[in-house]
Structure formats: C-alpha cells, structure tokens
Structure 1
Amino acid sequence: MRPDEAPLASLPLLGYSVTVPSPDDGITKEFVFKLQFKNHVYFFRAESQYTFDRWMEVIGSATVHSQRNKSVNHHQELENNNITSP
C-alpha cells in the first residue's frame, strides 16, 4: 500500500448517528451528511446523490443509532427543511 492510500485516522462509529444537517447547522450545500455523538459533530460532503446514498447506507449500517429514513432522499429532506441549494 502506498503511503497516500493509508487512512490518516479512524473513527469508531458505535453510538454515532448519521443524519442530514438541520437548518440550525447552517449547511446549505447538497449531499452533506452529519455524524454526531454527543457534542462531537462531523460534516461530510459526497460528490453526487448516488455517493451520498451509498455513504449514508454504509455508515448507517455501521452506527448503532442511525436515524436515517431510507425512503426519503437528500433532496426531499432539503425541501422539508426549506433549504435551497446554491
């Protein structure tokens, strides 16, 4: 493995939740998901709806308390939160 292919860090996801940002987070970009455990919050952005869905699925399966509703896609959640994409 080349040095740039090795992870810089790892994060155990047990107990984390994976969701889309809330309006209070002030995130208006598309394809952003939020990992949170207590006061530890991380935001990640995917390149497309497909990669967003895959990340949410995979990370959701690795977390114990995933709060993702699999029947609602990212665009619908943005609309429900009255967030517009730039």
Structure 2
Amino acid sequence: MCTLGKIAACEISFLPIQSSNANADVNKVIELIEQSGLEYSVGAMSTLVRGQKDIVFNLLEEIYAKMDEECKFVITAKISNICGCEL
C-alpha cells in the first residue's frame, strides 16, 4: 500500500475561446502549473501533472478561478489513479 497518500496523474488541456491574447492566457496557466509544486511535463497540446490527489484537484480549481477573470475557455482534464506510487 502506498504510504504517500493518493497519487493522481492528470492531463490538462486549456483552450482560450474568447481572449485578447490566447498565447498569454496559455502561459498564465503554465505558470500556475509550475507554481503548484506538482511534477509536470508540458506538451504541444496538453500538460501532464502528477502528484498528491488533493493538490491536483486544487490546481484545477485554481486554474478555473484565475482564468475565469481573464477569458472564456474550455478545460479538458483526464485524471488517473493508476499512475504508480513513487514521485
């Protein structure tokens, strides 16, 4: 049994729909991910984050709350609890 608590992996795609600067909005989301303390890997179409389940879900809430003030958007998140135990 994992002694670290529940670990989750999440693939996040952020798509600005109504935005004055879509690239800047995507970069703001990447900055939030970087500041989260989670392990992450930025890809061309999405970013994979991995870490404590509660921190992953808090990050999704933070992205929604902060970007809701900036633009209209779609977030796609795929979450898995089958990602191993070691960080």
- Under a length normalisation based on structure 2, what TM-score does the superposition of the two structures give? 0.31
Q: Please identify which structure carries the higher strand content.
A: 2
The structure showing larger relative contact order (alpha-carbon pairs under 8 Å, at least 6 residues apart) is 2
Tell me the TM-score normalised to structure 1 length: 0.31
